[in-house]
Chain A
């Protein structure tokens, strides 16, 4: 079987206990178990992490960059969602 026909897996690594898993890259593999082993060999050779997640790329549903404006609205018209919007007297401004 050629490399192209193997499924692509996305790799997420937790660098230390207590932190979120972060996306680090992807690889081809013939099964999730193998993807995990390859990820170990590829991505954490220098103690970059304590835990790995692999997920087949096709199982990720993603938003599209070009839709950002409509889909991931920055809500710039709602400045009151930010703490800095509220003007308080100096002596209590560290609230």
Chain B
């Protein structure tokens, strides 16, 4: 049985959610709300950080200096977005080292799309255009999430993200209007990244384990299927402008629904990749561990500096 106090706290929390007020870190919140947020926000943070790997793969091989500078700036942004999200997650009472540990031991997930390899330069274009495009659809919706620090991080990220999708499309456009070989590269990259991009929105609403409660708590504001439809509707005309063939032969405008119809996602592949059997899962975590371990001397130096400063302060106070 709930005590009088916690029943009152629960009622107060429910009232804030109903009235579209944000929940702030010092407010009382149900344990499951906190846990659900930690799961979703840390997964989001991990995705930003792991997402640097497939694109980072092409920094040294970018075709021009301009493309290289752009790609560096984009990957740098992703690192920053990871930081915003880790910091916002930490307001829920979990430490950075616990979050990193959960990622490295496979307890926490990240967006399954980053387990696919980047095989050609066109993949960098396809990622900026489709993967960031899908992420933006999701993140615009999350600007209205009920947890204050998450909402503010989303607003900041969306503002910075605006160039990511455009630089990707610019790459695709240049290739699609280039030589037949370049056009084929663009077509191939789009075909490979199309389905994983649709999978980024998660399982169908009817299959989604966390969706119902997240919607009730207004952590999520629109359903997986609604957001996915929105992405398809905005992307199909962009494919037409590129002059590429549709990556899914079932894509067709449905006048009655006012939306594009499309084919079914291969959910078996989705679950396989999410559960660790994608083409690059092992490599991504191995690289993250190696980078983290190689950075240990920096953290050690920081701790030594702090200890020295503290000692100096103590000596001058004495």
Interface residues of A (CB under 8 A from B): 14, 17-20, 51, 78, 80-83, 85-89, 91-92, 95
Contact = CB atoms under 8 A, between A and B. Distances in A.
Contacts of B204: none
A51 B73 contact: no
Contact of A88 (B22, B24, B133, B173): B173
Chain B contact surface mostly: helix
B237 A92 contact: yes
A17 B15 CA distance: 13
A17 B22 contact: yes
B21 A18 contact: yes
A88 B170 contact: yes
B241 A89 contact: yes
Contacts of B173: 88-89
A17 B144 CA distance: 12
For A18, A19, A20, A88, which residue has the most chain B Cβ atoms within 10 angstroms? A18
A44 B169 CA distance: 48
Interface in B221-263: 237-238, 241
A18 B148 contact: yes
B299 interface: no
Contacts, number: 55
A83 B163 contact: yes
Nearest to B152: A20
A14 B26 CA distance: 13
B162 A83 contact: yes
Contacts of A14: 24
A93 to B, nearest CB: 9
B69 A92 contact: no
What range describes how many residues of B lie at the interface?
20 to 34
Contacts of B87: none
B163 A82 contact: yes
Contact of B70 (A19, A80, A87, A88): A80
Contacts of B16: 17
Contacts of A91: 237, 241
A88 B166 contact: yes
B104 interface: no
21 contacts: A17-B16, A17-B22, A17-B148, A18-B21, A18-B24, A18-B148, A18-B151, A18-B152, A19-B152, A78-B69, A80-B66, A80-B167, A81-B163, A82-B163, A83-B166, A86-B167, A86-B169, A88-B170, A89-B173, A89-B241, A95-B166
Nearest to B16: A17
Contacts of B47: none
B197 interface: no
A21 to B, nearest CB: 10
B69 A51 contact: no
